[in-house]
Structure 1
């Protein structure tokens, strides 16, 4: 095994330090007794209690979760259908335009996407709220789902589906019983990616949100403009904790799945 050079070690150390030291400082100051963010006044968890009683943040978090679940589900269905057409439909009239429209949101500036959707909602007379945010998030995140699912379907062995059809399955039964279980990890990955993009979005949501629907990123941004409060540090720490737990669970699950697959292969050989 090749020994890493000092340049690589220093570069990685500086990169990780630049990324994670601010997060560590934020977590530490979320337990600060003082109202002043930059002045340590002793250890306390009172700001977590204050956060749990803050109706504005709780309502924004509920709106964010609701929008994320609904929009990612819609985006997964539409993105999977688009991927199926791109991979299985072959050459058809308008394919280049169709694929271009699918991939355009990947490189389109979010400001342009948000402004165009705002003008659309105004033109059709649709009041801005949870529904408009859901439609906006589903619109720009479905292309990510399409890319993930289409990459999996491109390597899919179609002979398995053909065998199911030869055994008497209808095309829908073959898709439901053979194709969908095989591409299910890619579909789940696309859903998680769309959900993450929805939770993280600020620009598009700021164009399409109304007074009755404020997402958590918008609420945090508007609060930070008036000054960083210890409650925001506590909220950020909770988010970091949830993300860390999710990454650990995903890593452990993936590791166990790989170990199980290796054991099954060894048993099959013997």
Structure 2
């Protein structure tokens, strides 16, 4: 448990062997935090670091090391782990607080929560290289987190919307994640801090680019004037099923599917917000 101070570990551990495992894991966590070289971290992980599972010390898996790399944005180490172990580095590991597995897709959730865009790109590219396409698309739709953590039951897309992470969201959508949380994006737009509103607006814009078709939103119909002012008349009418999508929106929907850099590279007057 790297987030527990070493002075507190003996109160949480029941045996000398378990305390030793926790201390070695904590030392490894600190080494990743200090951005030590990859070769040194791998030597530590394979020869010195253990975790405690089912009453026995176990080898410290690459999947847990990748979580540490995500938390501290150690991009070189994340790149090595994904290149060396491929999708096996993305397997869920046991939660430190309970007996269940920590998550079906913990790495996606951690990447989004900490806004680690570079490592998230490495992860989705690793998934894309899977031989079976349905497997990596299914991985993108899995929910992260045990029942006692904040991300429980949320997909990476849902988390990106709730935290206003537009760049992470676009990357996930381009690689096949479903744009299925429009209602959450609308709620976020009206409830977020004014400083975060541009990011929340951009998340909504990206969802609109990847939605297969608009669904009538009761929220919009309850306060039509308010939502018209936020979304613009054309987008509002389209979402309510009263008009076709704006021409610029249709064009950007085609462009967005060709790669994340295509949208970001557009001049400001062609960015998604200008269809409003």
TM-score grouping bracket, smaller chain normalisation: under 0.3
Greater relative CO, 1 or 2 (CA 8 Å, sep 6+): 1
TM-score, normalised with respect to structure 2? 0.24
More helix by share: 1
More strand by share: 2
Larger Rg: 1
